[in-house]
Chains A and B, each alone.
Chain A
Amino acid sequence: MALAIALIALVISAVLFHVFSPWWYTPLASNWALIDTTLSITLLITGAVFIAVNIFIAWCIVRFRQRDGHRATVQQDNRKLEHWLIGLTALGIAAMLAPGLFVYADLIHAPPKAAVIEAIGQQWQWRFRLPGPDGQLGSTDVRFISPTNPFGLNPADPRGQDDILINAPEVHLPVNQPVKILLRSQDVLHDFFVQPFRTRMNMVPGMVTSFWLTPTRTGRYEILCAQLCGVGHFNMRGYVVVDDEAAYQVWLDKQRVTLASATVNTRPLAPPISGTSPVNALASQGQSLAQSKGCVACHSPTTAAGVGPGWQGLYGKHERLAGGASALVDDAYLREAITSPNSKRVEGFQPVMPKIELNDQEVNALIAYIKSLSAKPAATTARQ
């Protein structure tokens, strides 16, 4: 009996939870409304079955529970009933499958007029590439990847010379324009997932995958990596900004300008990450660099260790190195740690830090930023 009540309570709370849940998909921002529709159809059908099954069990328990003088009624099977059930099930399945396959046929056929851009994944950061005035992306290969050529552009391919390279985790898309996103990875699997777009695809080293959509709503959306890519996976953030035509042009022109000034583009990102706020302009530049160069995938601005040591309170501390030695963290130590990673290894961490192309000024900025994160605790010590 208790079980019958529990099952009914379960059904009721499930329905209530569904109705009142604040957790539901984010508002759609692409043309894939049909995916949401298919999802709703599926939910309707499966929800009905879920309710029916549990209620039926509850009813059986009440009606046919063990009582004095009650005996089960033997029945082998019932062909007719079973055929009905099979038929109904097949019908329900078809009702879900048909719209599903219908959408899928669209999903895998990008319209020929779709603009093409490329997203590149690396542990644990994003980069983007847009075709230049020639409208074509140049060929690439991991063989060509180096600190000065992080995109692995083929130097012999003229089509690549004018490509717009965005060495930062943020890309813009024009609203209401179909776009086909080519995906590449230089190390492990990643996945380009923007929930409001609904569609997505894995990024596989050694091949180029793709998906397409038409953004339908302007705004700034988060790109998540949704395929486990190592210990910094959860921190592999990026942004895609859907602009109206005018804003998009402004942005695009800015990318071209930066390109013309011949440095690889690194720009500050809009929201500063949480943590102690930097004290001066240099440190603030360092903070942006930490984000755009992908340092934050591994180093948190708190004391918590991630893939690498946390930065808060790091400056001025004695780090224990692998092998037993210890070293004072000062400017020189930080400079060496940034410019020739893994030459010294801190105990408890893997030698996995990549060498990142930075000029002296940028290194100084990063050091200033790291220093600034230790300023407060240091001050408290001083006061004591």
Chain B
Amino acid sequence: MAYPEQDHAPHSFWTRYVWSQDHKVIAVQYTITAIAVGLVALVLSNLMRLQIGFPGRFAFIDANHYYQFVTMHGMIMVIYLLTALFLGGFGNYLIPLMVGARDMVFPFLNMLSYWMYLLAVLVLMGSFFVPGGPTGAGWTLYPPQAILPGTPGSGGGIVLMLVSLAIFIVAATMGGLNYVTTVLQARTRGMTLMRLPLTVWGILVATIMALLAFPALFVSAVMMLFDRLLGTSFFMPAVVSMGQALAYKGGSPILFQHLFWFFGHPEVYIVALPAFGIVSDLISTHARKNIFGYRMMVWAIVIIGVLSFVVWAHHMYVSGMNPWFGFFFATTTLIIAVPTAIKVYNWLLTLWRGDIHLTVPMLFAIGFVSTFVIGGLTGLFLGNVSTDMPLSNTYFVVAHFHMVMGVSPILAIFGGIYHWYPKVTGRLMNDTLGKLHFWVTFVGSYAIYFPMHYLGILGMPRRYYAYDNYAFIPPSAQQLNAFITVAALIVGTFQLVFLYNLARSAFNGLPSGPNPWGSASLEWQTPENPPGHGNWGSALPEVHRWPYDYSVPGTSTDFLPQTSTSPLGCEAKPDRTAP
């Protein structure tokens, strides 16, 4: 709870940068930690690709390791990188600045959230060092397999994984309480909900979803821990494993899948909605034009958030659940495509008749739209229950979810980092390196994942360590896999350019000035750049308009900041009649 003591700026190095309660420092801590684990996951993915592209050539990647890499790669990317970076990183940094608050409303809890997150990461990394290594159960951790001896890491690995997830959920809940309460309680004067930038809307709804969805993961993790450590049979039926009859009896593996995907599907949107918001703001700012159909965009975010809680079993069409569910879940899944499509249309219509500045953030934003569209479209194959039959668990799925929740959110993150870096450091990132990074990542991602869909249609199953002697797979598929691996290695390597740029620009970047992109939204209107402790100097700003007043007719500048009192502007009003 906020007490006056905390308004005093911290003095020592420790309280300022380590045990900091300042949302900006915590955001940076979250971001750096997430990027660091993300790097681990990236290396793991390249190791997997080496095995797939050049099977057997790298002897140290045996089947055990391969499955451990798959699992850790997937889990780290989805949870510990993307979720943490969007909510803990972007959420923490941007929410108070964008709503005009001095900090999060519970700064201490916010600090605790980061340290819990770090603990979760350390526990997870610890599983690399226990006997038997990390779990190789796949990121979905399906029982009975996850806790039986035929799976690598079924000893300490799976236990640490589950414990780490539980800690992560506690951390995310602490952060989430803060983000929701701050948006709802700490907005400055004039900042109505319908004047929030879409970034805040995306993060807000994603946070609410996280708060409601993570408990399901928590429940499944705790129950699986019971099964693993105490011998209960929540998810475990009677089995004969490796010739041994085990003491389990009567449990339901499908129950786990329901719980997991009740969390898992919303999780996709927990990652996507902040990306939607960020990209909306980037496109609007860099096309110097208000976001098209703001209210529609807000409602689309909210509707997607709600609907995503009733589609989870589209991941279970072939799981053996009651087949009648298929009708319901296929229908809801395809319905969700409508609000999602609206978002895409509105991005396109924002570009239309804009004044498109092809800055690095804008490149990434457009890259996001392109990759998200292909990922979303292939989702229609998998969501429509009968077309999922031949495609489920093949490389088509791998290609689909990498496009829609791997590549596209990562592009949004990159765009966001290039865009807000000057806010955080007061310096611009190097433009040439940024463009190099964009081109390799964007083109490379297509080179990796576009052909991969075709391997899936051919029927190559995912999570295969090797494909020796399968007659239906032609040798050319192996050549294609080698090509994909090369592309993945190139893309992986070029992320070093980004890291270099990120680190070096902090000291050598060109000074950016207070508002390098001419952005109208509130975070660029702080009295100092980077903002000092408390963000707003002596008085909080007052907001008079929405954050999208670009190229307003009759003004000489091409944007009006949210704090401007000019009578002009074209804010979306509920009772608006003429366009």
Decide whether A and B are members of one complex.
yes
B337 in contact with A93 (CB, 8 Å)? yes
- Across the interface, B319 reaches (CB within 8 A) one of A54, A202, A234, A235, namely A202
Within 8 A of A (CB), among B378-398: 378, 380-381, 384-387, 389-390, 392-394
Known: A101-B330, A142-B239, A205-B239. A107 touches B320 (CB 8 A): no
Question: Please, how many angstroms separate the alpha-carbon atoms of A103 and B71 in the complex?
Answer: 34
In the complex, B323 has a CB within 8 A of chain A: yes
When chains A and B are docked, how far (Å) is the Cα of A304 from the Cα of B64? 12
Contact, CB under 8 Å: A82 / B296:
yes
| Contact segment of A59-67, A157-165, A326-334, A374-382 | A59-67
Interface: A274 (CB within 8 A): yes
**Given A53-B373, A57-B348, A75-B353, list of 18 further CB < 8 A pairs?**
A3-B366, A25-B458, A32-B389, A46-B377, A46-B380, A57-B369, A61-B366, A74-B552, A75-B349, A77-B292, A81-B349, A86-B342, A89-B341, A101-B327, A199-B390, A226-B394, A226-B461, A234-B464
**Most chain A C-beta atoms within 10 Å of own C-beta, residue among B138, B363, B387, B466:** B387
B457 nearest in chain A by CB position: A25
Q: Of B240, B254, B345, B474, which contacts A186 at CB under 8 A?
A: B240
- Contacts A60-B348, A60-B356 given; does A191 touch B330 at CB 8 Å: no
Report chain B residues within 8 Å CB of A1. 358
A332 to B385, CA, bound (A): 54
- Of the candidates A195, A202, A205, A356, the one whose C-beta lies within 8 Å of that of B318 is A202
Residues from chain A with Cβ under 8 Å of B386 in the complex: 34-35, 38, 100-101, 103-104, 107
Q: Interface residues, chain B, CB within 8 Å of chain A? A: 56, 59, 62-64, 67, 132, 136-138, 142, 144-145, 148-152, 237-245, 250-254, 287-290, 292-296, 318-320, 323-324, 326-327, 330-331, 334-335, 337-338, 341-342, 344-346, 348-349, 351-358, 363, 366, 369-370, 373-374, 377-378, 380-381, 384-387, 389-390, 392-394, 439, 442-443, 446, 450-451, 454-455, 457-459, 461, 463-472, 474, 476-477, 480, 550-553, 558, 570, 572, 576, 579
What 1/0 mask marks residues of chain A from 9 to 45 whose CB sits below 8 Å from any chain B CB?
0100010010001111110000010110011001101
**Is A307 in the interface zone, CB < 8 Å from B?**
yes
- In the complex, are the beta carbons of B148 and A187 less than 8 A apart? yes
Residue in A closest to B317 when the chains form the complex, CB atoms: A104
Interface size class of A (residues with CB under 8 A): 35 or more
Q: List 18 A-B contacts (CB under 8 A).
A: A25-B458, A25-B459, A45-B380, A72-B355, A72-B551, A77-B579, A81-B349, A104-B386, A198-B390, A200-B318, A200-B392, A206-B239, A206-B251, A230-B148, A234-B63, A306-B63, A352-B242, A354-B242
Q: Which residue of A lies closest to B147 (CB)?
A: A188
Contact of B239 among A10, A14, A186, A354 (CB under 8 A): A186
Residues of chain B with a CB closer than 8 A to A81's CB: 349
Indicate if A343 sits at the interface (CB-CB under 8 A): no
Residues of B within 8 Å of A71, CB to CB, are 288, 355, 551, 558
| Contact, CB under 8 Å: B369 / A188 | no
Tell whether A85 pairs with B290 under 8 Å between CB atoms, given A76-B579, A205-B144, A226-B461: no
Partner of B242, one of A49, A123, A306: A123
Known: A46-B377, A104-B330, A222-B472. A354 touches B358 (CB 8 A): no
